[in-house]
Homo-oligomer: A and B are copies of this chain.
């Protein structure tokens, strides 16, 4: 970790700059994949699956029999863990279903918002060495709570053409039936444009490698909505002398094991805790199966010594971390100062994996400083808030003259006229 002691405020932006990973050919490569999928549909998806996933797949939709069979392959204790996580995620996302009550702005003019689920959504769940069943929960549960009518899920097939049973089981448990063995940019293209086998969706969610991320960005330019722009995962942990260095080190490593491009930032309020965490890190690192990845990630990581909690929060606001952990005794009294963060973990026992899996909050969060302007995935991500207005004859008489005046100032006479014809009729009919 690069260590900075009491850096001056005007150096923060430079110190906190995210590491940059060059990749110029990526956009062109992904453009080609998307273009092919758009033009040749399933045939192109089949070709790319052969090329990238090394498997030939005829029918992308996973058979119901296979999904049902998955249930028998999952350990009972894992099923119970998933059930607890699902319940908590449901509880917290259901609590977010709040409609703005009808509001009377002028007499006879009422305005309201209605929450309406996005009709068709696509969820992407990455493949790899382990099944990301938590990603299934974090996307499927809010989609179901929102009431999306068509929810499809794409995940890359392994070399036998299969998706891990844990993903199939969790998806089915959430109520998702259409699961497709398609991965990478071709999956994003299939969901954005639709093919003979994959229905077109209006919004695409989920993490992925750089191909997936770029494909989401490119289809969003063409009008398919996406959850948010994505970058490598990151954490900022604030610690003081009340913090447990073992906990803090464990939290930093939980972040670092994600990938070599992950970033873990320690903001220490005393030299004492800084040193303790630094001594603890190698001890825990040594025992990790993903030691090499974590070691590489720590090279891009930072340890910053600041003078107090206020400065710690200020530096965190400048960094705008995806995850912010405040594992101190008095964490709660600083929460009002937080203005930029994806998700905040308060107190010694609120470790970041709680939010990754089971506490109920969503783990799909803004990285790369996007927390300055973006929220994480929530119920909001799966709904639209349609505004409505009802205006009575009295209402248009109350606000009509103001509208006429403003429309005239904007030289939009037809706008003005749409009010004038109504006011005239009311005068004529002697309302």
Contact = CB atoms under 8 A, between A and B. Distances in A.
A154 to B, nearest CB: 18
**How many A residues touch the partner, as a band?**
35 or more
A105 interface: yes
Contacts of A403: 81, 353-354, 356-358
Secondary structure dominating the interface of A: mixed
A385 interface: yes
A416 to B, nearest CB: 7
Interface in A204-253: 217, 221, 223-225, 229, 244, 246-247, 250-251, 253
Nearest to A370: B223
A389 interface: yes
20 contacts: A84-B399, A106-B360, A111-B359, A129-B411, A134-B406, A244-B425, A246-B421, A253-B418, A254-B412, A287-B417, A294-B414, A343-B387, A343-B389, A344-B388, A353-B407, A355-B387, A357-B407, A371-B386, A375-B385, A376-B385
B386 A378 contact: no
A88 interface: yes
B396 A386 contact: no
Contacts of A81: 401-403, 405-406
A392 B347 contact: yes
Interface of A: 77-78, 80-82, 84-85, 87-88, 91-92, 95-96, 98, 100-101, 103, 105-106, 109, 111, 113-114, 116-120, 129-134, 166, 202-203, 217, 221, 223-225, 229, 244, 246-247, 250-251, 253-254, 256-258, 284, 287-290, 294, 332, 335, 338-362, 368-376, 378, 380, 384-393, 395-396, 399, 401-403, 405-407, 409-419, 421-422, 425
A84 B106 contact: yes
Please give me the 5 A-B residue pairs with the lowest Cβ-Cβ distance, nearest first: A105-B360, A225-B373, A81-B402, A130-B411, A88-B105
